[in-house]
Amino acid sequence: MIRSLCAALVVLAATSAAAKPPSWDRKIEGANRFKVLKAFNGEAVLDQETGLVWDRAPTGDLVTFSSATLHCFFGSTPGDRRGWRLPRIEELVSLLDPPGFQLPSGHPFELGKALTFWSATTVAGDAGPESAQAWVILVDGGFAPAEKSDSAAPWCVRGGESVDGI
């Protein structure tokens, strides 16, 4: 009994150590920040600064907010993996370098023609399941609120914490 309990604690400690968030005590510059994941058939990218895993080549299709949410939750399977979601606005913005809110030079993403991507974050003061606006990121510079009936592309992520229950 005690041996089983000790073994369980060792496994639990190893699991929690592996699940630790990345260190916030380092800044990784440029292309060195990102690692294309072979285990995901090269279809996903680990941001070594935040610990998030991003779809390397988002669909680029411009869709409504609800379609983007459904795409990430049910349709996105980079590396034949499930568990993708729309990112929070701060996760999307974390990809961009100041000044000018641009992706770092040498990044491995293949964004196609899409320049506007949905976040899962609703606009403050517009909360609730029927909220009308969510934040979008503009890869060529900044972020803005958008009507959920407008069109932007989904850029799915794994890891971290979701919002709005999905």
* Residue 22 in domain: no
Q: Cα(58)–Cα(7) distance, rounded to whole angstroms?
A: 42
* Residue 131 in domain: yes
**3-class secondary structure for 17-35?**
HHCCCCCCCCCCCHHHHEE
pLDDT at 26: 75
Count of the separate structural domains present in the chain = 1
* Residue 19 in domain: no
Q: Cα(31)–Cα(54) distance, rounded to whole angstroms?
A: 15
Q: Which of 38-42, 81-85, 139-143, 160-164 is the least confident region?
A: 160-164
pLDDT digits (tens, 9 = 90+) for 85-96: 999 999 999 998
* Residue 1 in domain: no
* Residue 117 in domain: yes
pLDDT digits (tens, 9 = 90+) for 30-63: 778 999 999 999 999 999 999 999 999 998 899 9
* Residue 75 in domain: yes
* pLDDT at 161 exceeding the cut of 80: no
The CATH number of the domain holding residue 121 is 3.10.100
Domain housing 70: 29-158
* Residue 3 in domain: no
* pLDDT at 7 exceeding the cut of 80: no
* Residue 10 in domain: no
**What is this structure's pTM?**
0.79
Residue with tokens 């916030």: 24
| Residue predicted with more confidence, 49 or 17 | 49
pLDDT at 128: 59
